């Protein structure tokens, strides 16, 4: 595919969805800028994963830049189970269960999109060329057709409304577009596209996705005596929080193993078979609960 001349600014969390979107943008655009946000999230390790992925891609010869934007004055004012301020407990379970509402961060995507849009407008001013902002939202976050999902700020309706507001509120907005290609698919579709993007870019999907962090409840394995089979002083993914379950199910549906290592709450390694079994059990229980 011939790359477009446009610039693109990617909101890169360090999770699976935004990392896949980054791959797609590398395949389609000549100039890629990645922006990550530190908003006081408990799973701040995702920012380290974003940095690791960007460095890996740069080492593979891809041209892209990355910057972390800190929203330090905001974090203590937010009420969410994801923010490290003691405002709310984050509950575990299926990603579509009402427990997942504890992972909602108020107006998060509007905040991220607004800052990303400001950067894109500045790219236009510097270069005189068009630019896109890219966010990795998908239908698994919120489905416009069924009006179901935990994160309405990930919906296509919200994206359209935001873009409209951005365009009427800014000069040069005719040169900036909002790019959310996964709003027509779910997380499995995102992963499927990511595998295809890896093939096109000559990358090993295991190398890519091992550098991502989807877990909202990562587990730190410190420097303690014990099993030498696991690296110490490292954050690992849990396999019981909703965000992890959704990711695991997507790998199961594609018939491939997730290269991320999962651990128990005490830091012991968990095999992929156990991870799969747990995720499939929760998925079956949830699907049974919503049948009429």
pLDDT digits (tens, 9 = 90+) for 98-135: 889 999 999 999 999 999 999 999 999 999 999 999 99
Residue 126, domain member (yes or no): yes
Q: Is residue 262 included in any domain, yes or no?
A: no
- Per the prediction, the chain carries an average pLDDT of 94
CATH code of the domain in which 36 resides: 3.40.50.620
In a domain, 285, yes or no: no
pTM of the model: 0.95
Measured over the CA atoms of residue 225, residue 228, residue 229 and residue 231, the dihedral's sign is positive
> Residue 60 belongs to what domain range?
4-213
Indicate whether 143 belongs to any domain: yes
State the pLDDT at residue 4.
Answer: 72
Number of domains making up the chain: 1
Q: CB 164: neighbour CB atoms within 10 A?
A: 11
Structure tokens at 271: 């095999």
Contact indicator for 213, 237 with CB cutoff of 8 Å: yes
Do 12 and 50 touch, CB atoms closer than 8 A? yes
Which residues in the chain come in under a pLDDT of 50? 292
Residue with tokens 């923010």: 83
Q: Does 133 fall in a domain?
A: yes
3-state secondary structure (DSSP) of residue 67: strand
On whether residue 91 sits in a domain, the answer given is: yes
* Cβ–Cβ under 8 Å, residues 201 and 88: no
Answer yes or no: is 148 within a domain: yes
Q: Is residue 63 part of a domain?
A: yes
Q: How big is the chain by its Cα radius of gyration, in Å?
A: 19
List pLDDT tens digits, range 52-88.
Answer: 999 999 999 999 999 999 999 999 999 999 999 999 9
């Amino acid at each position: 595919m011939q790359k477009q001349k446009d610039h693109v600014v990617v909101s890169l969390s360090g999770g699976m969805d935004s990392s896949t979107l980054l791959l797609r943008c590398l395949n389609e655009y000549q100039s890629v800028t990645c922006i990550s946000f530190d908003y006081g999230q408990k799973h701040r390790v995702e920012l380290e994963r974003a940095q690791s992925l960007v460095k890996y891609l740069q080492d593979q010869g891809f041209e892209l830049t990355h910057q972390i934007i800190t929203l330090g004055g905001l974090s203590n004012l937010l009420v969410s189970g994801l923010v490290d301020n003691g405002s709310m407990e984050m509950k575990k379970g299926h990603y579509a269960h009402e427990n997942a509402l504890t992972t909602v961060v108020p107006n998060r995507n509007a905040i991220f999109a607004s800052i990303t849009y400001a950067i894109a407008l500045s790219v236009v001013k510097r270069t005189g060329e068009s630019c896109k902002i890219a966010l990795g939202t998908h239908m698994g976050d919120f489905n416009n057709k069924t009006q179901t999902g935990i994160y309405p700020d990930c919906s296509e309706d919200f994206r359209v409304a935001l873009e409209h507001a951005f365009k009427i509120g800014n000069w040069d907005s005719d040169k900036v577009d909002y790019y959310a290609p996964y709003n027509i698919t779910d997380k499995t579709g995102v992963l499927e596209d990511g595998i295809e993007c890896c093939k096109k870019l000559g990358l090993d999907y295991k190398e890519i996705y091992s550098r991502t962090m989807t877990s909202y409840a990562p587990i730190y394995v410190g420097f303690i005596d014990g099993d030498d089979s696991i690296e110490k002083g490292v954050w690992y993914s849990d396999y019981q929080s909703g965000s992890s379950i959704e990711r695991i199910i997507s790998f199961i549906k594609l018939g491939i193993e997730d290269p991320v290592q999962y651990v128990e709450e005490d830091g012991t390694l968990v095999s992929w078979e156990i991870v799969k079994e747990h995720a499939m059990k929760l998925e079956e229980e949830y699907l049974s609960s919503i049948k009429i």
